[in-house]
Amino acid sequence: MIFTTLVEALDQQHPVALATVVRGSALGAKLLLDEQGLGLGTLGDEELDGAVRAVALALLDAEQSETRPFHTLAGEAVEVLIETYPAPPHLVIVGGVHIAIPLTDAAKLLGFRVTVVDPRTAFLTAERFPQADALVAEWPDEALPGLQLNRSTAVVILTHDPKLDNPATEAALRYPVRYLGAIGSTKTQDKRRAALHEAGVSEEDLARIHGPIGLPIGGVSPGEIAISILAEIIAVWRGKQP
């Protein structure tokens, strides 16, 4: 049952962690956890399950696997192998603008699955985005909930139109995406944050928005701006807060 569920999770690109006792009386016992900490199976001890759950979720978020020592409620020393299976990296670009084209191409080189969202079908064509994995011609606040946004997702908002940008940002903030960036000057960012705050978005969530987007490398052309955005995404992904 555990292995069947694990295979299904991998097929559906859902992040999971598998814990296995590799030293101890419950040798071979397994616990499968999803990104919310919901589990299937047990390591044979409720306290051990809880301790491993906390470590496994942290390792899943860091995209790392390790063997760690633990103790059962009875005081037995055990070792648990925690294997993590994060979802493949997914870049969601809101706005099929010029910057989105080199951003898609460069992200594919880094192994990202790329989805471009824009209700303006003139911008969203296979000719403009031949490397994109998916083109979604919907309003972003309607499209984002159906895209399995999780800790393996980066969302980049590029339309420069508050009618699209603000609802898209608000929608993305409802999910634990690892990176959320929005294009625009400091003045534009202030206006966006004020509008989102008025709409009920918390200060904690507003602080998750990277804007002005990208590392300040002086980029001017669409390609240079795309590289600055990807550089910031990589820095956040690797725990190097820019």
Q: What is the pLDDT of residues 183-198, one digit of tens each?
A: 988 998 889 999 999 8
Verify that 57 and 158 share a domain, yes or no. Answer: no
76 assigned to some structural domain: yes
pLDDT tens digits, 77-128: 999 999 999 988 999 999 999 999 999 999 999 999 999 999 999 999 999 9
Domain boundary among 68, 85, 102: 85
Distance of alpha carbon 43 from alpha carbon 48, whole angstroms: 7
Residue 141 lies in a domain: yes
Cβ atoms of 11 and 148 closer than 8 Å: no
- Within-domain flag for 95: yes
Percent of the chain at pLDDT exceeding 90:
72
Residues 41-64, mean pLDDT to the nearest whole number: 92
Count of domains observed in the chain: 2
Measured distance CA(158)–CA(153) in Å, rounded: 16
Whether residues 196 and 161 share a domain: the answer is yes
Exposed/middle/buried for residue 164 (C-beta within 10 Å: 0-12, 13-18, 19+): buried
- The answer, yes or no, to whether residue 35 has pLDDT greater than 90, is no
**Residue pair 6/32 in contact by the 8 Å Cβ criterion:** yes
Same domain membership, residue 141 and residue 54? no
Q: State the DSSP H helix or E strand holding residue 232, giving kind and residue range, or none if neither.
A: helix 222-237
Residues 193 and 73 in one domain: no
pLDDT reported for residue 219: 81
Check whether residue 131 and residue 69 sit in a common domain: no
In a domain, 74, yes or no: yes
Taking each helix axis as running N to C, give the angle between helix 100-109 and helix 222-237, from 0 to 180 degrees, rounded to the nearest 10.
40
Mean per-residue pLDDT of the chain: 92
* Mean of pLDDT values over 40-56: 92
Does residue 122 sit within a domain? yes
Domain shared by 67 and 10, yes or no? yes
Residues 151 and 51 in one domain: no
Same domain, 153 and 47: no
Last residue in a domain, options 85, 120, 141: 85
Q: Are residues 123 and 186 in the same domain?
A: yes
pLDDT band with cut points at 50, 70 and 90 for residue 242: low
Q: Which of 157, 218, 170, 226 is nearest to 198 (CA)?
A: 170
Please check whether residues 77 and 108 belong to one and the same domain. Answer: no
Instruction: Give the end-to-end CA distance of the chain in Å, rounded to a whole number.
Output: 43
Decide if 225 is inside a domain: yes
Torsion of CA 110, 58, 12, 1, to 10 degrees: 140
Q: Are 215 and 232 in contact (CB under 8 A)?
A: yes
Residues 61 and 110 in one domain: no
> What pLDDT is attached to residue 29?
93
- Specify if 6 maps to a domain: yes
Residue 129: per-residue pLDDT? 96
pTM for this one?
A: 0.84
- On whether residue 242 sits in a domain, the answer given is no
Question: Which of 36, 57, 85 finishes a domain?
Answer: 85
Could you tell me the CATH number of the domain that includes residue 230? 3.40.50.720
Domain range enclosing 180: 90-237
Q: Are residues 196 and 172 in the same domain?
A: yes
The 10s digit of each residue's pLDDT in 7-29 is 999 888 889 999 999 999 999 99
